[in-house]
Amino acid sequence: MSIKITGTGSYIPKSIEKNEDFHQHTFLNTDGSSIDYPNEVIVQKFKAITGIVERRYADDNLVASDIGFLAAQKAIDDAKINPEDIDYIICAHNFGDVRANTIQSDILPCLASRIKHRLRIKNPKCVAYDILFGCPGWVEGVIQAQAFIKAGMAKRCLVIGAETLSRVVDKHDRDSMIYSDGAGASIVEASDDNSGILAHESASFTYDEAYYLFFGNSNNKDLCPDTRYIKMHGRKIYEFALTNVAQAMKFCLDKSGIDISEVKKVLIHQANEKMDEAIIKRFYRLFKAQAPDDIMPMSIHKLGNSSVATVPTLFDLIRNNQLKDHQINKGDVIIFASVGAGMHINAIVYRY
């Protein structure tokens, strides 16, 4: 028995925020002081590092569970299954449902329950729960789905990653330009062929690294000190990811028994173009190999960093031939990998 992804779906918001739209923002240093150079220079430097040209924001009438439902419905349709036959719904997110122009997160009930409700699934044995695992949440959800199926507790699982990061950013922080909204979903189930998950690896680095991403005050000291926004220590995350993500991917590939030459694509969390490129180079260097030019598909340029949604959205785009110059063929070996708040890391080696 193999365990594979039989259907995918994604929701990409229609509202586009271009880099030029930030030229009128008031960016400040962490101490609240003014930045010495104009926004045009700030945005130019930002693009050079992250690769982001534009990002997507959800419409004001939608929250994370709404876009998670829309992605889930597409995955169910793609897998051609009856929703009543789903045994688990696992929804990865970080901030729950945050309504537009508010500061409060809503996770009562959990997003997975809300999505199950929207799907009109009657079966009470379809268990719905959320997972908080930072940006690697969707990948970890797939790993958990595999465990349920291997243990005989499930035959079919729906795994979703949904986030509206645009609603928890500090507009006075340059890092706010990284984040975006989106959702991706997949159906994971048992199969009789030889495709599917070959190996997986997960790790949580918390001793020194737990708060590399955190909730903190606005850079604008005139704003309410009790309101918190997503913040990060970018340089520390970069240095951490460069070593540890590459190493986790190596552990995972070694466990799979697959040679590095067989890997066709690496679908890595769309966090930062330069960081992702450096991770891939380090990963191949561990095998004394050269990374192929087309090994790493990227969606961050147009979609930004939507946290738990980046990897499933990227996979869905490629499966549906919507990412130029990238495709996955039957039998291809691919790697899913992610890193994020916690600090958590994970990877899956997968035969398509």
Length of the chain: 352
Residues 153-165 have a mean pLDDT of 97
pLDDT, one tens digit per residue, over 45-77 is 999 999 999 999 999 999 999 999 999 999 999
The answer on pLDDT for 264 being more than 90 is yes
pLDDT, one tens digit per residue, over 303-348 is 999 999 999 999 999 999 999 889 999 999 999 999 999 999 999 9
- CATH class of residue range 197-351: alpha beta
The answer on pLDDT for 104 being more than 90 is no
Question: Which pLDDT value is given to residue 255?
Answer: 97
Share of the chain above pLDDT 90, in %: 91
Q: Which fold has domain 2-193?
A: Peroxisomal Thiolase; Chain A, domain 1 (3.40.47)
Residues 138-157 have a mean pLDDT of 97
Name the one residue in this structure whose structure tokens are 């009543």.
84
Question: Which pLDDT value is given to residue 338?
Answer: 97
The answer on pLDDT for 103 being more than 90 is no
Of 27-36, 181-190, 332-341, which gets the smallest average pLDDT?
27-36
Question: Which pLDDT value is given to residue 193?
Answer: 86
From CA 136, how far away is CA 223, in angstroms rounded? Answer: 31
The answer on pLDDT for 210 being more than 90 is yes
**Is residue 345 within 8 Å of 136, Cβ to Cβ?**
yes
**Mean of per-residue pLDDT scores for the chain:** 95
Q: Residues spanned by CATH 3.40.47.10 within the chain?
A: 2-193, 197-351
Question: Which pLDDT value is given to residue 24?
Answer: 86
